[in-house]
Amino acid sequence: MENKRQLGKFYEEHACAFLTKQGLLLIAQNSISKLGEVDLIMQDDECLVFVEVRYRKNASYGDAQSTVTTAKQYKVIKAAYNWMQQKKIDIETSEFRFDVFAITGKESIWIKNAFCH
């Protein structure tokens, strides 16, 4: 891979393909606002799923899921709320969750409800 952006896109596509095979439907990709970014926004039945995709070449300094810090979670939550407000989706009554798709080396893990909102 030439640069970090291309590498990120490659692993986001990998995560999207995996999640699609699990029955989720892609709604949006790389939703960026001044409040942050959501890598993948998907639909799982009636539930909106905001997915943070993380990659680490190896676990020398910790696995990929350990990079989703509290600060990162907060940024993703703010970006997701902003996206829902733009789409006029009621945050109080809608079903949604935050998942993490983490790739460390050749191993990947999908963590449903990885953090709370």
The CA distance from 82 to 45, in Å, is 22
Mean pLDDT, range 76-102, rounded to an integer? 95
Lowest mean pLDDT among 7-11, 16-20, 78-82, 99-103: 7-11
Kindly report the backbone phi and psi dihedral angles of residue 44, in degrees, each rounded to the nearest multiple of 5, phi listed first.
-120, 95
Single pTM value for the model: 0.93
Multiple choice CATH, 4-115, 3.40.1350.10, 1.10.510.10, 1.10.3720.10, 3.40.1310.30:
3.40.1350.10
- What's the pLDDT tens digit per position in 16-42? 999 999 999 999 999 988 888 999 999
